[in-house]
Amino acid sequence: MKKKVLILYYSFSSQTRNILNHIGEGMIEAGVEVHWEQLRLLEPRRFPIGSYFGTFKAMATTFFRKRVAINNIDPEHRCEWDLVILGGPTWSFQPSGPILSLIDREKNRFLAGKKILPVISCRAYYAWHFRTLKKMLSKSLIHHQPIVFMHTIKEPWCTLGLFLKLAGKMPESGKNWFSRYYPKYGHTRQQLENAYLLGVIIGQTMLAGQNIDTLDFSVPVSLDPANLIRKNCG
Ligand SMILES: Cc1cc2nc3c(=O)[nH]c(=O)nc-3n(C[C@H](O)[C@H](O)[C@H](O)COP(=O)(O)O)c2cc1C
């Protein structure tokens, strides 16, 4: 039987988008019909933020779950789906402002009663983010675990590198001593390949008529993706 999935997401620095493109491609490979929609901001924001002050300010305001205004979702997507994948980054331990706005607006309308699988892209911390999603989406059938992709660089370089990157300082640039400890911002090629495999597994599970609740997403995908794939492949 045909299965239809909507991938609805926000991405500031393309990390969630890259992950979701790969998950979606994997699902298509398995035979699922996939549609993507990226939330658009009413006032577009530039990445990187470009200054230390702007970065501090963004982190402080997002901590208090400041909403960021978004456009309406595409009317063509307001239909029934077998699954809605809701993806976005963690901002100061919380879902990002555009995702909070989406949920405020749609939790009793489009998202109500939908089966929702959250996908989170973050540096390292997602627990609070997921807790907020579960609370806000109480009228939806939210999956009991999110799929989480974390940045893979060791601390303290990961946190420092993220801050410098947001402030527009190019910490991964080869001309910089810091780049020895911080060669890349965001997710690795290996993580993207695992996202694709995960998409194949989710797609195959849906097409086999099985509930995706049987899949185990408990390992953050950056830590041991091989383990995750092994578990789900049986
Ligand atoms: C304002 C701001 C605050 C952030 N706060 C957190 C945080 O509290 N915890 C975390 O793990 N990552 C945090 N991050 C990092 C992002 O979650 C991470 O870079 C993610 O991969 C970005 O995904 P995107 O490119 O799809 O927006 C923050 C990023 C921004 C811009």
Domain that holds residue 94: 4-152+187-233
- Spacing, Cα 14 to ligand 1 middle (Å): 11
Closest ligand 1 atom number to CA of residue 186: 21
What's the rounded mean pLDDT across residues 29-50? Answer: 97
Structure tokens at 198: 């995960």
Average pLDDT on 46-55 reads 97
Residue 167 lies in a domain: no
- Residue 121 forms part of a structural domain: yes
| Residue 107: inside a domain | yes
Number of H helices, E strands in the chain: 7, 7
If DSSP codes are grouped into helix, strand and coil, which group holds residue 147? strand
CATH number at residue 37: 3.40.50.360
**Does some domain include residue 52?**
yes
Nearest-CA residue for atom 4 of ligand 1 = 91
Number of domains making up the chain:
1
- Output the pTM of the full model: 0.95
In a domain, 85, yes or no: yes
**What amino acid occupies position 4?**
K
Give the residues surrounding ligand 1 with Cβ less than 6 Å away. 11-16, 58-59, 62, 89-93, 121-125, 162, 166, 186
Q: How far is the CA of 89 from the centre of ligand 1 (A)?
A: 5
Angle at 22 between CA 38 and CA 37, to 5 degrees: 15
117 CA → ligand 1 middle, Å? 19
pLDDT at 175: 81
Question: 178 in a domain, yes or no?
Answer: no
- Residue 101 is assigned to a structural domain of this protein: yes
**Over the stretch 123-144, which tens digit does the pLDDT of each residue have?**
999 999 999 999 999 999 999 9
Is 140 part of a structural domain of the chain?
yes
Q: Extract the tokens encoding 103.
A: 């949920």
Q: Could you tell me if 89 and 12 are in contact, meaning their C-beta atoms sit under 8 angstroms apart? A: yes
